[in-house]
């Protein structure tokens, strides 16, 4: 996938709705580490004092009196592992108490290691030690062409950070997707919105998030149309695939759900119908089997005439060529230590594993998918 001109428009790989979690921190005396990955923008209400002082919506460590030397840090497991393109260290409302600098590392590991085990992982630099400004979005471009599963943010030496946004390209683990129908448009699998007619109330990318829509603004909602047209969004699939079942949820949209929906697909050429205009109900999860299965790379969801969609799912299976491309891209982007661990799990070790890591394009597909 080609990164957009503004990498901050890419999904936030660390976001809580995507399954991200803050695993550990050196200190969180003034404000909780979990605030870092909340999806909502940070807020501030003056004169809201707790026994520990003014309440902040972010992560804030104590001053390092009595803790001479060193610095504070926080460890985040990404909900959607992938290639990081930009990191936003947001210091909103932290003015006299933000860190002087930050440094950010990444690693790629197998399974679900503990914070202690991650301390022994092979970490690599995503953002070198860089100055921060208070009360601002501090956005850093990242150029590490490796798949990341965890990030470690260092606050130099201490202080408060409101939000951490890790924007990047999702690179799913093909072993989790192989031989089963999966959601081809899910953010977690690499689906993304590339174009839409309108996003006045909320963006269409919300439709592709995991889980049920939590409230009205957590879906895609357009403004009211005053013409004879209709609204639409184009979604690029995780890979070329044959869609079989669509799920369209109007959850929480009661007086503003679309009257009808239609779907069309494209494989780089003309658009063709997948689902004709079909009546929708308010606040309902609809499932539709799609006729005339054909491989597609993009799908256009059209809502007639306008309104809101909470979630859009598209279940199907990748083509054989896409199946191999998914696996090879994933394996190529793995850090060396994780690539070796993948091969060891597949029963390949020693000199043969070293040879395959050095020449990743020729690794057997069945070995990459854990079937060697």
Architecture of domain 176-318: Sandwich (2.60)
Give which of 157, 129, 154 is closest to 65, Cα–Cα: 157
pLDDT value of position 282 = 94
Question: What single DSSP character describes residue 205?
Answer: G
pLDDT value of position 161 = 98
pLDDT at 3 over 60: no
Residue-wise pLDDT for 318-349, tens only, equals: 999 999 999 999 999 999 999 999 999 889 98
7-170 and 176-318 agree in CATH topology: yes
Domain boundaries defined on the chain: 7-170, 176-318, 336-372
Q: 């919105």: which residue's tokens? A: 193
For 204-217, what is the mean pLDDT?
94
Residue-wise pLDDT for 296-309, tens only, equals: 999 999 999 999 99
pLDDT value of position 52 = 83
pLDDT at 63 over 70: yes
Q: 């209709």: which residue's tokens? A: 230
Compute the distance between CA of residue 199 and CA of residue 222 in angstroms, rounded to an integer: 5
Confidence of residue 54 (pLDDT cuts 50, 70, 90): confident
In this structure, is the dihedral angle defined by the CA atoms of residues 105, 109, 112 and 118, taken in order, positive or negative?
A: negative
Least confident of 119-123, 128-132, 135-139, 173-177: 173-177
Which residues make Cβ contacts (< 8 Å) with residue 262, sequence separation at least 6? 273, 275, 276, 277, 278, 301, 302, 304
Residue-wise pLDDT for 255-276, tens only, equals: 999 999 999 999 988 999 999 9
Q: Whole-prediction pTM value? A: 0.87
Bridge partners (DSSP) of residue 303 are 231, 261
Compute the distance between CA of residue 22 and CA of residue 209 in angstroms, rounded to an integer: 19
Dihedrals φ, ψ of 343, to 5°?
-65, -40
pLDDT value of position 129 = 97
State the chain's mean pLDDT as an integer: 93
pLDDT value of position 4 = 59
For 187-205, what is the mean pLDDT?
96
Both tokens of 212, joined, read 């049920």
Q: Which CATH class is domain 7-170?
A: mainly beta
Longest dimension (CA), the chain: 70
């Amino acid at each position: 996938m080609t990164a957009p001109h503004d990498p901050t428009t890419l999904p936030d790989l660390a976001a809580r709705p995507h399954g991200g979690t803050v695993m550990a921190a050196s200190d969180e005396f003034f404000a909780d580490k979990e605030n870092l990955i909340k999806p909502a923008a940070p807020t501030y209400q003056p004169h809201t004092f707790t026994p520990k002082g003014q309440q902040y919506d972010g992560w804030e460590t104590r001053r390092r009196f009595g803790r001479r030397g060193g610095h504070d840090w926080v460890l985040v497991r990404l909900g959607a592992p992938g290639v990081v393109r930009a990191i936003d260290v947001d210091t909103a409302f932290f003015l006299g108490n933000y860190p002087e600098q930050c440094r950010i590392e990444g690693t790629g590991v197998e399974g679900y290691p503990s914070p202690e085990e991650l301390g022994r992982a092979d970490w690599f630099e995503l953002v070198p030690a860089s100055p921060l400004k208070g009360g601002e979005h501090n956005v850093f471009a990242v150029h590490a062409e490796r798949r990341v599963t965890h990030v470690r943010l260092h606050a130099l030496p201490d202080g408060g950070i409101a939000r951490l946004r890790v924007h990047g390209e999702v690179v799913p683990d093909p072993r989790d997707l192989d031989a089963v129908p999966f959601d081809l448009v899910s953010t977690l699998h690499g689906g993304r919105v590339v174009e839409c007619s309108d996003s006045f109330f909320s963006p269409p990318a919300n439709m592709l998030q995991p889980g049920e829509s939590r409230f009205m603004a957590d879906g895609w909602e357009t403004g009211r149309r005053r013409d004879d047209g209709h609204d639409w969004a184009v979604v690029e699939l995780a890979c070329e695939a044959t869609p079989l079942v669509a799920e369209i949820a109007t959850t929480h949209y009661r007086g503003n759900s679309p009257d009808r929906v239609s779907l069309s697909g494209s494989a780089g050429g003309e658009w063709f119908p997948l689902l004709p205009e079909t009546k929708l109900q308010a606040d309902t999860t609809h499932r539709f089997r799609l006729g005339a299965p054909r491989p597609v790379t993009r799908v256009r969801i059209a809502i007639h005439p306008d309104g809101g969609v909470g979630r859009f799912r598209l279940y199907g299976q990748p083509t054989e060529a896409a199946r191999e491309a998914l696996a090879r891209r994933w394996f190529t982007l793995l850090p060396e230590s994780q690539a070796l661990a993948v091969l060891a799990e597949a029963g390949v070790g020693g000199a043969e594993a070293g040879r395959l890591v050095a020449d990743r394009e020729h690794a057997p597909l069945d070995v990459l998918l854990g079937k060697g």
